[in-house]
A and B are shown apart, each in its own frame.
Chain A
Amino acid sequence: MSKAFGFLIFSLFLSLLFGYGTEPYWILEAVRGRLPEEALQIVLNIRAPRVASVFLSGMALSAAGVISQGIFRNTLASPSLIGVDSAAVLGGSLVIFFLPTLMFPISIPLAASIGASLVTAFVVLIQRKRFKSTGDLLLIGFGLTTLLGGLTSLVLNLSTSAPMKSQMLLHWLMGGFSNSGWPEVFYIGGAVFIASLVLFPLCSKLDALALGSDVAQTLGIDIDRLRTITVLISGLLIGSVTSAAGAVPFVGLVIPHISRLQLGPKHHPLLRRSMIHGASFLLLTDLLARTVIGPEELQVGVVTTMIGSPFFLWLLYKRDKPYA
């Protein structure tokens, strides 16, 4: 735990230290009180809110991944499986396609949040009323994700006659934190705070569910209620991140896997470690995204996939015990 936490502090420090706008020794200048006004403005107004957003988003995505895998009892499940991020992406895409640019700062996060909330509510309602098993929930999610992805592709297809719109859509689909300011920090931070309060007490119930529905029911766990809460929290976490940064792939699926390889399947330590790893991973990938081809920047979704996938394959190859 201390190593993971130390690595998180290290990642946080690197992210704050490096960037195109300042020399790395700016922190020494700041300590001596000689930091130029321009560098101070860059650190306070651009870098700090972005780093904070990335830090919280990494936590949010990983936490959503852990609970999704827990509730579906499937290590291949990801938070995107119930279609929440697809809905948020579609909401944002519709705004980019239909509304004038001037309305973007408010309407994109709003539409993405509405999309995420609607799909979350739909999934919760339909699984309570009609479909009771986790397998059914998985299939509903698959159907929704496919439908929403298809609609987003339709919007992208229709936008090709307007090059700037299609460019905006492509950037939105790849995810990125270039527009993150302090409002996004509070938005995502609020979601992470609420999720932490709700999720940690539920970890023991998720542990029991991992042994099977029958065992969980025997222990007096209301599985329907547990499923509803986790879907709602997952929707809140994914919706908050996607509305601020677009779709950020990979983190929610693989970070819980990596943590599980280290710690095993118990949910309390797994959730805690995944949140720490998720934050570290996203901080480092975002650092690369904004510096590696500076002064230009890559979309963070590209980097998370390019770095994370080989690393994950390497971890799987190196493991010396069967995967739990």
Chain B
Amino acid sequence: MRGIRLALSALGLCSFSALAESILKDGAGRDWPYSATPSTVASSFLAGDEILIELVKDTKVKLVAVSSVADDHEYSNIVGLAKQVPHRIGANPESIAKIRPDVVFLASWNRPELQKTLLKLGIHTFTISEFNSLEDIQANIILMGKVLHLEEKSRQMVTWMHQQMPQRAKRNSTFITFDASGVSLGKKTILDSLMNRLGLENAVTESGWPKLSAESIALRHPDYILTSGETRDRKSVELLIKKTPGWNLLNALKTGNVLLIPNRLLNSASQFVSLAYAHLDSLLNKSILLKNKDPNLKSPNNEPLK
């Protein structure tokens, strides 16, 4: 009898610990105890929009709202697909309350009051907080898959990303990112992680998005300057860099080693980062992928890479 009791209590402990493991925590540190499968979902940030639009495709979960940035050609990789999503939401809780989705994905930069207000209105929120590396993006996809009970689909997306971004051998070259605002992307950023996978080292060893002094830029000696822009704008971009103190002294500019990548890929924090990888890989290998119509490059949504 005692043995049965022990066995039962052990079973109880096991099931409790299994339950504890199964409870998700969001980026705001809140438990996600809901077990029902959501039928409608919304996102308040672009990376969430891009992940969800692929994640819920051909499933019973309906994406009812995305952020308004999803329609912006400059930043969004899903302009075409977003047209099928009926609503747009912003930081205004009323816009979300009107739609009443089962779950709203928020980003850590959304104001905490928004989450509180939505919870008061009985709308479940899940906050995504990490956007610092390729691994973070993959973890976010898995996390969102768990919330929506679409774990298998999310794993497929992550596997697809892995396949699209093989680790390249070290090239013994460094890069630096140029932006008109004066900030450069440093360590612990998605782009740093992406370029490391392409075999390049960041000349900016500081973390985050530091605003470096012009004199410090001039001393970094990067082999490549990476910046946002379309290929047709190359001359204007180079002129802009040339006019910026510090940057005009870099050899990378003089030798024309300026890598241009569309803004929507440069700042991507979703699975579309794999397109940024392909784009930069092709530039680094001195071949223009799009001109050659490489059959290996496929967008997750089969949207053409502009």
Contact = CB atoms under 8 A, between A and B. Distances in A.
A102 to B, nearest CB: 4
Interface in A62-111: 101-102, 104-105
B152 interface: no
Contacts of B31: none
Contact of A294 (B75, B213, B244, B249): B213
Nearest to B45: A161
Contacts of B243: 105, 181
B283 interface: no
Given A41-B218, A102-B236, A179-B244, A162 B180 contact: no
Interface stretch (B66-74, B112-120, B191-199): B66-74
A49 B246 CA distance: 12
B219 interface: yes
Chain A at the B interface: mostly helix, strand, loop or mixed?
A: helix
Interface in B200-252: 206, 209-216, 218-219, 228-229, 233, 236-237, 239-240, 243-246, 248-249
Given A104-B240, A181-B243, A181-B245, A20 B215 contact: yes
A295 B245 contact: no
B267 interface: yes
Interface stretch (A145-153, A164-172, A274-282): A164-172
Contacts of A45: 245, 248-249
Interface residues of B, number: 39
Interface in B168-206: 179-183, 206
A162 B74 contact: yes
B45 to A, nearest CB: 9
Contacts, number: 102
Contact of B69 (A104, A161, A168, A180): A161
A129 B183 CA distance: 47
Contacts of A163: 267
A161 B212 contact: no
Interface string A25-49: 0000000000000100110011101
A154 to B, nearest CB: 15
A181 B242 CA distance: 11
Interface string A171-188: 100000011110000000
Nearest to B46: A161
Contacts of B245: 45-46, 49-50, 178-181
Contacts of A162: 69, 72, 74-75
A50 B214 CA distance: 10
Given A47-B215, A162-B74, 12 more contacts: A42-B215, A45-B248, A101-B240, A102-B237, A160-B91, A167-B183, A179-B182, A181-B243, A181-B245, A290-B215, A294-B216, A296-B216
Interface of B: 67-69, 72, 74-75, 90-91, 179-183, 206, 209-216, 218-219, 228-229, 233, 236-237, 239-240, 243-246, 248-249, 263, 267
Interface of A: 19-22, 38, 41-42, 45-47, 49-50, 101-102, 104-105, 160-164, 167-168, 171, 178-181, 290, 294-297
7 contacts: A21-B216, A42-B215, A164-B181, A171-B211, A295-B216, A296-B210, A296-B212
